[in-house]
Structure 1
């Protein structure tokens, strides 16, 4: 088929995947009868009684409100968005000190009440999606001040006041419930104690990008610009052709790990940040870096079948050959974005091959949604749930929405 027909068919397939497989599963499967968020579901559909993380709750809100705006509203989607907003605003939000708890139990009582910077960033991101949906529904400009935007701006102020490192730059990983520094905090037991992580800074950058898109406050622009510069000057390791993952307080890399999924995700999110900042000089620097990132991921982190591997080391060794759904989702967008920037057909082909892998191996048309992790033989890893503390719809819903828009204008 001509390229235009392939792209049209691809976009239509992505829309069907969202509307008929992914969103219906999450709408029907992640809430209990009272509308509370469940701890998760195993691959066989069994309910998991795990802590309800802010990661899951905020990403649900982002997903449903984004779907309302991009795909059109319907009663089931509206109910899911309403439940997710109530969970974020009423259950996850600390009524005393502000910010969102890291996790709560099924009754909404805090399990871990500290203020992880990563979680606050996703709350901002989700609330700005709610704000955009509210503006679209009410015919308001994005610069309007909605309750969701007010909540997001309050979270920005809390992060900037308590979690920002005014001397060395960047943001600390976490604070206590009352916003005192919490050293050696980590996102999971698999991570080393570190003063800063690329993953946290990436999602703060992502959140500030959407906040600035709607509310062009000078301080938000300043902080977003600082973050882009940190990625360019501190996190990118040119000798290793990757972003470092964990850093000391004085920005020394603490590990030799490479995460190809994070690298390709950072590449397109940095471009998005510069687009919103409208900073030509910074855009030129980022545009020079993006092809290097995409090429490094393509050369070192992509399997023979076009799928993206989990992780490796600076010396090129693969340490995690599993295929994680979120790496595939981000690579599809990141490679396509690199092709849109450079015209290099290798990147266009890489995006298409990732989608072919996703459609063949991750999409589950019978059980619903996507299988989250596959082993080296591309069999589902049953210990990784369909929905859980980290297993959320955000990565693949966003990838589908992004690609639908980009394919329509390619």
Structure 2
């Protein structure tokens, strides 16, 4: 049954349903498990740091919304991130560990999961979750020392001992670093994190995306030269797909508006670039293959490549429309949000199995070619909360206040 104690104006019945589904992922003391289609921990999957961090973030927000038991569940994530998921010998966080906590399954140190550690830490800190202050200290120290280069740009990944960096840079990890830095800046009241986020957005959006007709390349050499044919032979990779990703254009659009609202003197290009990214995502991604839905990827001519529909893309579309609608007052964004909610209700929301179908095929039937199961509710909950909150400060700080 849905928890009865959340403010209905912010957390809708659907939000409560998502959070209640996610409770089954709690797996103390190691973190949070990957859930299958029926909401059961998938024994084939290890404990992933990126899932544990996202669920810690979700339950920290739920705690701020007075959802029953949420604070205790968020604390499971904080304890796991300070415990078995952390590499006490060499620093940083493992990509994944065994479900019994016996050791790492993937010992690499990636910027993507570390960005989510920072996001979870800042959000848990804002929510008053026990030991979150220690997690913030460890997360910020690690990220500053290991994942920012001399130009303030994101180093993608390292081996376990931080001795060898991967000869690759990625827009996805940078995008989530921007999200994490906005949350840290708000939670800690330290504007330097916002300025760092602005520099990253200036580089990847106002420079790179603008010069590629707003179809942001995702993959780069170590000196940030785009590699446009990266993974052309593996176009459906869940984290590094070939081509441009409309869902990330939508996510960046939201983040730019949030960044603008976080700065005392924001540059004028932030809102303009957000509008351009949103428009490009809609033109390139929505209903472009004869059926409703956003395609996963397109090539740099705008032709669909992977036509699967991901739940995270439609969730980010709703969040971006809500954020830009608040920023501009343009009712067109409200119409888009309504259209996309209708699509979500019809195709993604799973009333029998719970949560949302994470992937649909090109005819909008549940599929599992890129994703299997229902690993987390981070994006779906964002679609519910983000449009109901101001662009800044971050969700946790607004809820705390």
TM-score range, shorter chain: 0.7 to 0.9
Greater RCO (CA < 8 Å, at least 6 residues apart): 1
**Per residue, is there more helix in 1 or in 2?**
1
Q: Which residue of 2 aligns with 1:121?
A: 115
Tell me, in whole angstroms, the C-alpha distance in 1 between the residues paired with 2:309 and 2:88: 39
Query: CA contact under 8 A between 1:237 and 1:244: conserved in structure 2?
Result: no
5+ residue gaps in structure 2?
1-7, 230-242, 392-401
2:180 aligned residue (203, 207, 215): 207
Tell me, in whole angstroms, the C-alpha distance in 2 between the residues paired with 1:323 and 1:26: 22
**CA pair 164-274 structure 1, distance change in 2 beyond 3 A:** same
- Does residue 374 of structure 1 match 2:360? yes
Q: Deviations over 1:72-130 (max 9, x none)?
A: 1313x333223222222212112223321111011121111221111111001001111
Mean CA deviation greater in 100-109 or 88-97: 88-97
- Does residue 269 of structure 1 match 2:255? yes
- Does residue 326 of structure 1 match 2:312? yes
Matches for 1:49-68 after TM superposition, within 5 Å? 49=43, 50-68=45-63
Matches for 1:304-319 after TM superposition, within 5 Å? 307-319=293-305
Q: Which residue of 1 aligns with 2:97?
A: 104
**CA pair 239-226 structure 1, distance change in 2 beyond 3 A:** closer
The alpha-carbon deviation at position 340 of structure 1 amounts to: 2.6
**CA pair 65-336 structure 1, distance change in 2 beyond 3 A:** same
The alpha-carbon deviation at position 173 of structure 1 amounts to: 0.6
5+ residue gaps in structure 1?
1-10, 136-145, 185-194
- Does residue 82 of structure 1 match 2:78? no
1:386 aligned residue (359, 364, 373): 373
Tell me, in whole angstroms, the C-alpha distance in 1 between the residues paired with 2:189 and 2:35: 40
- Does residue 347 of structure 1 match 2:319? no
Query: CA contact under 8 A between 1:268 and 1:334: conserved in structure 2?
Result: yes
Matches for 1:75-224 after TM superposition, within 5 Å? 75=69, 77-108=70-101, 109-134=103-128, 147-167=131-151, 169-184=152-167, 195-217=168-190, 219-224=192-197
Q: Which residue of 1 aligns with 2:18?
A: 22
The alpha-carbon deviation at position 342 of structure 1 amounts to: 2.9
**CA pair 399-234 structure 1, distance change in 2 beyond 3 A:** same
The alpha-carbon deviation at position 351 of structure 1 amounts to: 1.4
Tell me, in whole angstroms, the C-alpha distance in 2 between the residues paired with 1:84 and 1:399: 22
Q: Which residue of 1 aligns with 2:42?
A: 48
The alpha-carbon deviation at position 181 of structure 1 amounts to: 3.3
Query: CA contact under 8 A between 2:79 and 2:131: conserved in structure 1?
Result: no
1:260 aligned residue (246, 250, 264): 246
The alpha-carbon deviation at position 47 of structure 1 amounts to: 4.0
Q: Deviations over 1:352-382 (max 9, x none)?
A: 1111111111111211111100111111114
TM-score normalised according to structure 1 size: 0.82
